[in-house]
Chains A and B, each alone.
Chain A
């Protein structure tokens, strides 16, 4: 039964997940294409200097900041929007399995896909960074991009909440809450500036993973 549910989720999101993964890899590739180009056209030492002392943030190239957000939004919509068409999710709720557990499995699968794609991007980013930069610059860059990936998970959880919410008025209000909360992860900041906020942002991200239960509950209770 659980395998079937997971397979159903995979069928819904597979193309979006593949496109997001490909987009992520392309963007990371493009960042380092730019780095390689800049290394060729200016002295390496000046490039390092710009990063260390002039706040040049090479990792912001190609709108990398918004890639996890867009990917998570696409996957969440692909996964949960079809469930709201003709209230198909009720079919899942009629299965002889725990409803909350079913929602949790759906959410965990989506989150796992996001995690796997993020891991590929981060590994690629770290590997390529280490070719061009010393550990200090790589570490700063990773700390700086970490909130963007956490933001991806937050957007995924909150999009699921909004899409599964049965009442439009509340959808709009949840959207407003999302609009107040998501920017906390996307502040413009110097390299490594996010380091003190990361633990709490991570806790918020993990806590929000159960957001889906709320609108799922309202949906199955027939709130209109």
Chain B
């Protein structure tokens, strides 16, 4: 039993060390790397790039250096204020006369990161009054859940509002909603320009639009192509009011949902995977820049306002594992254990094994070192076989652990 307690302690030390040592190593040696901003210029009809870390910060796709002013001129919808200040904002672009105020309506910014997808979601939401007649949205006093029915809970009394719950549940039921909801998506804040309620997926994978209009439920089912499933639905509040939401499918496709007619329109882009990549979508008067940023790459796909593909550009750069400090790290550590991960907001045991097997060399050296330690202590090698195996498997973590918890008396 004492032996077991020792191995449990050794295991504990291995777990603790495999979190702490790689973390210290990274903090000491990891170099930051900022992603370039790759944008499509509606002037040049080509990509221009801003690299914050480079000497030549502003270039075009071919690498020709640009001045900051020249760069900004090529992105008139992004740097409109600066160009207006400099009196260099063009009157017309691509043969179209540009009204700055009108063009500004079509500007939109959207960003989603994997840690927002892999995050604990609130299970209660406020349902705003969509047509209150007031200029500003007001926070309701109750929050809803959709479990076996749609229930509203009054925050003041912490009790269910039966009448409201029955009314909404009945309408949902009559519209074919299959309880419970599996995903509730909206913009639960009063700081939005208007309210459009929530887009809710039910247990039969049907999509519903639910909102409250003058105290009454508004429920509308959205027709989905057969088998379409979503990784996430992100409702948006853009000034052009052309879309309710960006919808990211399980097939890594991107759709928008249009208001009133509830049409799903596909963006002609591919590999839009919010599970693994940061997604940015910048819209302007002419185009949408759909940017995906993953580990070691950045890719910009451009679609026009009809969502047809215009062009695309991608760059790769060395990841941490490919850089010298990462390679030395993979020599020192067989694995890295983290409690948090860049792609998740959860706390969990995130184990990342070394892709290279160089750590086996260090393990071998450490086994030999341990052999000499055993010899020096005049111990029987047979009783230390498990320790040597642990060092072989866990490298420096095991070596430190078996020496912290001595095997002296347990022969």
| Segment of A57-65, A71-79, A88-96, A196-204 in the binding face | A196-204
Q: A181 contacts B155, CB within 8 Å?
A: no
Q: Does A217 make an interface contact (CB < 8 A)?
A: yes
Per a CB cutoff under 8 Å, which of B2, B124, B139 touches A43?
B139
Highest count of chain A CB atoms <10 Å: which of B189, B347, B401: B347
B contact residues, total (Cβ < 8 Å): 48
Q: Give the number of residue pairs across the A-B interface with Cβ within 8 Å.
A: 138
Contacts A133-B158, A180-B16; A210 near B5 (Cβ below 8 A)? yes
Q: Does A190 make an interface contact (CB < 8 A)?
A: yes
Shortest distance in angstroms between A90's beta carbon and chain B's nearest beta carbon? 16
Per a CB cutoff under 8 Å, which of A43, A132, A204, A210 touches B4?
A210
Chain B hits for A211, CB < 8 A: 5, 8-9, 12
Name the prevailing secondary structure of the B interface residues: loop
Q: A53 contacts B188, CB within 8 Å?
A: yes
Q: Does B94 make an interface contact (CB < 8 A)?
A: no
- Report the separation of the CA atoms of residues A207 and B5 in the bound assembly, to the nearest whole angstrom: 8
Per a CB cutoff under 8 Å, which of B125, B155, B346 touches A47?
B155
Q: A191 contacts B124, CB within 8 Å?
A: no
Chain B hits for A100, CB < 8 A: 1-2
Q: Does A48 make an interface contact (CB < 8 A)?
A: yes
Q: Which A residue's beta carbon lies closest to that of B190? A: A49
Q: Does B373 make an interface contact (CB < 8 A)?
A: no
Q: Does B196 make an interface contact (CB < 8 A)?
A: no
Q: A44 contacts B141, CB within 8 Å?
A: yes
Q: Does A194 make an interface contact (CB < 8 A)?
A: yes
Q: A190 contacts B349, CB within 8 Å?
A: no
Contacts A184-B16, A187-B340, A210-B4; A174 near B404 (Cβ below 8 A)? yes
Binding site for A on B (CB under 8 A): 1-2, 4-6, 8-9, 11-13, 15-17, 19-20, 119-120, 122-126, 139-143, 145, 153, 155-156, 158, 188-189, 339-340, 345-349, 401, 404-406, 408-410
Binding site for B on A (CB under 8 A): 43-49, 52-53, 100, 130-134, 136-137, 140, 161, 170, 173-174, 176-177, 179-181, 184, 187, 189-197, 200, 204, 207-208, 210-214, 217-218, 221, 223
The 6 closest A-B pairs by CB, nearest first: A180-B16, A192-B120, A181-B16, A44-B155, A213-B5, A52-B122
**What are 29 A-B contacts with C-beta separation under 8 Å?**
A43-B141, A43-B155, A45-B140, A46-B139, A52-B125, A53-B189, A136-B124, A136-B145, A161-B9, A177-B12, A177-B16, A179-B16, A181-B15, A189-B346, A190-B119, A191-B120, A193-B119, A193-B345, A193-B346, A195-B346, A196-B347, A197-B349, A207-B11, A207-B12, A208-B9, A212-B5, A217-B5, A218-B409, A223-B409
